[in-house]
Amino acid sequence: MARKILRINMNELKATYKDIPEKWARWGGRGLTSAIVSDEVDPTCHPLGPNNKLVIAPGWVSGTPAAPSSGRTSFGAKSPLTGTIKESNSGGLSSQKIAKLGLAAIIIEGSPKDGKWYTLHISKDGVKFEDASELLGKGMEEVDKICWEKYPNKPAVIGIGPVGEMKLTNAGISINDPENNPGRYAGRGGLGAVMASRGIKVIVVDDKGGPGVEIANMELFKKGRKKLTSAIMAHDLTKQDGALNLYGTDVLMNIINEAGGLPSRNFSAGQFEGAAKISGEMIAEMVETRHAGKAGHACHPGCIIQCSNIYPDKDGSIIASPIEYETAFALGSNCGIDDLDYVAKMTKECNDLGLDTIEMGNTIAIAMEGGLLEFGDKVGALKLFDE
């Protein structure tokens, strides 16, 4: 059974399924999204105009039985931020569910003639185009909650926040995690604005009853799976209680600071005196001392590295998930801010509004350099989100 390409035409509100053509048959994930954008999108088109396309593809072994850490979804389009082919990928629930529906990729083209916003519901029974007006203006925390209440089987929710609806070039695409938090992001390149220009607020993916992923040679697959799992579990970076599992990607904070390459105070320095206070080691300490949250969290079922985290507040409630290295430098050291609680609060705002944390942190850093705020003004930086 060949993997399928699901083509969704938003002009006609029509979905068609075709076997993946030979020229793309050996591709998956970012290779496939970039190949499709290269083949089908006019390089001179306006990124937010009618001729751009949003392409979504699971990785090659996503959705197979117990292939470790294989649940990333690739998003591709011509970027409104860079003007070039953009690939941005994320963990969360979507990749395995798309793959288990037998899909190699989803290509979304056109814009609704009626100018309305839509929710796409994708399941084994096909694609439903539903009115999304009740979700407009809502942040992704509320949108994810509404979708899990409305639809059965704890589906993947791929969505844009209010910033995406405004088609801003710092808008990312949110994917919910196993706890239905909106913090997994295809953040880079403004692809949330491309999704908005297709008239889509949310894509809900329910894989229940789907055909699953065909394995051509199960013995060979098992052999490869064992080899990969052993290699991951033997490496100091990726093993259980290894660097990523204990401290997440923010384990890089102290290392890069020591090397002199940490973006600090709007890239004016490569070292930050407060780096240790916003490091992965500090995230783990907060989880331990506050007896809440989680380090070593899996952003999708079956990840054995588990580098994600859920960051707790002083009272044990959850502020945000996850705090990654890039988020910590953008909203932390690059703004001269050395308080993890504030980095987490700003991360929560970004995740809910649909903002890329890197773009937003660096925007605040420029505002600080321009004199709007002092570097290190964490209260003022957080207030900017409301303003």
Asked if 300 touches ligand SF4 (CB under 6 A), the answer is yes
Give one DSSP letter per residue of 239-306, joined into a string: STTSHHHHH-GGGHHHHHHHHT---BTTTTBS--TTGGGGSHHHHHHHHHHTT-SEEEE-SSTT-SS-
Asked if 56 touches ligand SF4 (CB under 6 A), the answer is no
Minimum distance between the CB of residue 160 and ligand SF4, rounded to whole angstroms?
21
Please report, as residue ranges, which positions from 73 to 92 form the binding site for ligand SF4 (by CB under 6 A). 91
85 touches 136 (CB < 8 A): no
**Nearest one of 366, 381, 375, 354 to 161, comparing CA atoms:** 354
The count of chain residues that interact with ligand SF4, using the rule CB under 6 A, is: 11
**Nearest one of 277, 333, 272, 285 to 311, comparing CA atoms:** 285
Please report, as residue ranges, which positions from 332 to 371 form the binding site for ligand SF4 (by CB under 6 A). none
Asked if 298 touches ligand SF4 (CB under 6 A), the answer is yes
Centre a 10 Å sphere on the Cβ of residue 235 and count the other Cβ atoms it contains: 13
Give the binding range for ligand SF4 (CB under 6 A) out of 191-199, 273-281, 293-301, 378-386: 293-301
Query: Which amino acid, 213?
Result: V
**Candidate residues 57, 99, 106, 305; the one interacting with ligand SF4 per rule CB under 6 A:** 305
**C-beta of 69 vs 334, nearer to ligand SF4:** 69
Please report, as residue ranges, which positions from 200 to 229 form the binding site for ligand SF4 (by CB under 6 A). none
**Nearest one of 162, 192, 196 to 349, comparing CA atoms:** 162
Minimum distance between the CB of residue 187 and ligand SF4, rounded to whole angstroms?
13
**C-beta of 168 vs 232, nearer to ligand SF4:** 232
Tell me, residue by residue from 308 to 337, as one string, x for binding to ligand SF4 by CB under 6 A and - for no binding: x-----------------------------
Give the binding range for ligand SF4 (CB under 6 A) out of 17-25, 209-217, 271-279, 305-313: 305-313
φ, ψ of residue 13 in degrees (nearest 5): 50, 55
Give the binding range for ligand SF4 (CB under 6 A) out of 25-33, 113-121, 304-312, 347-355: 304-312
Minimum distance between the CB of residue 366 and ligand SF4, rounded to whole angstroms?
28
Between CA 193 and CA 25 the distance in angstroms is 29
Asked if 307 touches ligand SF4 (CB under 6 A), the answer is yes
3-state secondary structure (DSSP) of residue 117: coil
Between CA 357 and CA 250 the distance in angstroms is 14
| CA 83 distance to own-chain centroid | 20
Minimum distance between the CB of residue 373 and ligand SF4, rounded to whole angstroms?
31
Asked if 294 touches ligand SF4 (CB under 6 A), the answer is no
Minimum distance between the CB of residue 274 and ligand SF4, rounded to whole angstroms?
25
Minimum distance between the CB of residue 174 and ligand SF4, rounded to whole angstroms?
15
Asked if 176 touches ligand SF4 (CB under 6 A), the answer is no
Give the binding range for ligand SF4 (CB under 6 A) out of 11-19, 74-82, 300-308, 341-349: 300-308
Give one DSSP letter per residue of 307-355, joined into a string: -EEEEE-TTS-EEES---HHHHHHHTGGGT---HHHHHHHHHHHHHHTB
**C-beta of 263 vs 322, nearer to ligand SF4:** 322
| CA 148 distance to own-chain centroid | 18
**Nearest one of 355, 352, 347 to 382, comparing CA atoms:** 347
**Candidate residues 120, 163, 303, 320; the one interacting with ligand SF4 per rule CB under 6 A:** 303
**Candidate residues 69, 111, 174, 197; the one interacting with ligand SF4 per rule CB under 6 A:** 69
Between CA 102 and CA 85 the distance in angstroms is 26
Asked if 3 touches ligand SF4 (CB under 6 A), the answer is no
Minimum distance between the CB of residue 25 and ligand SF4, rounded to whole angstroms?
25
Could you give the dihedral angle defined by the CA atoms of residues 372, 374, 375 and 381, in that order, rounded to the nearest 10 degrees? Answer: -60
Q: Which residues bind ligand SF4 (CB under 6 A)?
A: 69, 71, 91, 298-300, 303, 305-308
